[in-house]
Structure 1
């Protein structure tokens, strides 16, 4: 019997563990920081993004193909007009921001934008949550798939699982924050609609673009 050498290992989904942290950070770096020079700067950004998403999340899981983590999905809930903070990961995020800020100063505009656009996204999200909209009951903080593992339905499967958890929690809706480097079409195909768009950071209309997408449940 012929063996298909191109056949990929089965994809499984399981809870995120701390041992997955660097693997998820690398997926984030490959997805959003591939054009940043320097391996250290790319992984620094990936770690900040991963920890920043975890500190706003109450559930987290990964997609694994064979022995490799190829995707991750984190989500959180809000109460009394504020996101519920995971204090353990909040401390890790603060620790990672110390070297990240130093690297941003010498890494050039692209590194600064990658780092500080994430901080602006958190601020925008917190303002949106504080207004009490129905689709601010929950936040999709991260849904990322390794570029080499795309077109296998991994992102859709993870999003469906996140939506199920939002519904089980009684959320009336959820939202997510995206940048110009995000796959906005994926969110739109999943039923999310653009609610808010921010442009013109640093006086450049093409820099620092932030999109807030939401969906009612």
Structure 2
């Protein structure tokens, strides 16, 4: 899942962008100023930052410069200004794109997709990110912060499948067929056992996601919004 950081001291802009991007399947983090944004970036693996220019404590130009020093992610500057001098300052600070308020949410979406393609963050589908958790299907490793976990194969495949399809509800039968195969001779309780083990492992390590039971149906992975 792609993580996007929104930085703006305007609560209405934060809500608008958060709702729009969440509906498209992005995992959204929010910060109200530059200092809070830098703290979030150090804890969460974000793929793109949307930064307002006019903010207290640290403006968008200064924040963009700091992001450029430490993180290899694209930055989109949001501003109410449309002067060429302001755009020049933005690009000198290192922004990748520039969007003037008020803007259409769809236009922001187009720009996000274009930048993510350019940075190739969406190309490698073998690596999933959800909050501070990275799941690598090439190495079969799960990394949370500085800690690396090696899960039993079926636990890893089950987790990877659920994280690949957040918010979708899957029956036990569907999970058995997809993870264990049509020739599996066990019963659906195998899924319950593996889900229980995943919950026990990750409930102590991260609050970025939860595997929820949907009564009478099966299971669903839910991303915890911030």
TM-score, normalized by length of structure 2? 0.24
Higher relative contact order (CA 8 A, sep 6+): 1
Q: Identify, as 1 or 2, the structure richer in helix.
A: 1
- Larger of the two Rg values belongs to structure: 2
TM-score, normalized by length of structure 1? 0.25
